[in-house]
Copies of this chain bind each other. A is one copy, B any other.
Amino acid sequence: MADTFAGRKVLITGGLGFIGSNLAHRLVALGAHVTILDSLHKDHGGNYANLAGIEDRITITLADARDSAAMNTAIQGIDYLFNCVGQVSHIDSMTDPLTDLEINTRAQLVIAESVRHHNPEVRVLHLATRQQYGRPQRLPVDETHPLAPVDVNGIHKIAGETYFLLYHAIYGLRVTSIRLSNTYGPRQLIAHNRQGFIAWFVRNNLLGNSIQLFGDGRQLRDMCYVGDAIEAMIAAACADHAIGQVYNVGGMRPYSLKEIVEMMIAITGRGAYEIVPFPSTLKAIDIGDFYTDHTKITRELGWEPLIDLREGMTQTLAFYEQHKAAYLPELFATAGQS
């Protein structure tokens, strides 16, 4: 892989965010020339602190992917596009669906058009989500499971992915889509509670707070460490036979939310949890148990998750403990940091 990326030009859209910045760290280590295009949209996870240690080896374009002119310029001469632009909050998609449409659909169409018209040879890795499947009709969920979204976010993420798959089919664009399951790790936004439960659990454990589990805490999720997810994306981008394909990427095995919280408490020796009823706004879009079948990517690309939850969560909690001023600045920033 070092051979593949050494000296190559890589564009990461949404590269200041959780997945995009972890990818940037890995690609810089592999010798790539990395450019990031990011809008630093308020509340969406982009954070300069995510590039700590590689700032000097990255080119940053502060622009919105919906800006055709900016995208059309950024895409030219690029060898690999990792498309990590996304609004990930399911809750926000219900309260502000038009913004979700802008980021998860319109921006994707602008990106697909910029590739089509300005760099049709670029290798594209598109980031999709298990949210597109909705409430599982069977478990585990493989790539043939119907797409039946339970929230506006799911509707928009489906449209966003389908542009790329359609543009592959019609215009021959060299696209692979990865549907991530629950992904956790360093560099995720933990400043508010609308970007999924893991970040919220991490924040509360970091602060020594009690964590509220909705329902009975037995909901199952598979938990994929971000380092594993990054390796899946890179493996897919390197494989010609992955072009036109969709792959699920998930963790080693499902865990209940209760198990996850208990593990966090055991690792840090801090915090607690309590079981509370589901808030109605969340119950309406809850998907019950979910875990993916990722045997397709194992079979076709040889990828499988290598970091188990205890190891990944230990690294994650240590990272935030060390960098809490950067990730919870309103609570921990000291004079001189703004």
Contact = CB atoms under 8 A, between A and B. Distances in A.
Label chain A's interface by main secondary structure.
helix
B97 A101 contact: no
Nearest to A144: B146
Contacts of A285: 170
Interface string A157-187: 0110011001001100000000000000000
A284 B156 CA distance: 24
Nearest to A116: B97
B97 A105 contact: no
A156 to B, nearest CB: 7
A166 B149 contact: yes
A105 to B, nearest CB: 7
Contact of A109 (B101, B109, B149, B166): B101
A152 B146 contact: no
Contacts of A150: 166, 169
Given A101-B106, A109-B101, A162 B166 contact: no
A110 B101 CA distance: 11
A163 B152 contact: yes
A256 B162 CA distance: 30
B152 A166 contact: yes
Number of identical monomers bound together in the oligomeric complex = 2
Contacts of A162: 149, 155
A67 B44 CA distance: 26
Contacts of A79: none
Interface residues of A, number: 26
A166 B151 contact: yes
A98 interface: yes
Nearest to A134: B166
A113 interface: yes
A138 to B, nearest CB: 15
Nearest to A146: B146
Among A156, A158, A159, the most chain B Cβ lie within 10 Å of the Cβ of A159
Interface of A: 94, 97-98, 101, 105-106, 109-110, 113, 146-147, 149-152, 155-156, 158-159, 162-163, 166, 169-170, 284-285
27 contacts: A94-B170, A97-B109, A97-B113, A97-B163, A98-B106, A98-B109, A98-B113, A101-B105, A101-B106, A101-B109, A105-B105, A105-B159, A106-B106, A109-B152, A147-B147, A149-B166, A150-B166, A151-B166, A152-B163, A152-B166, A155-B159, A155-B163, A155-B166, A156-B159, A158-B158, A159-B159, A170-B285
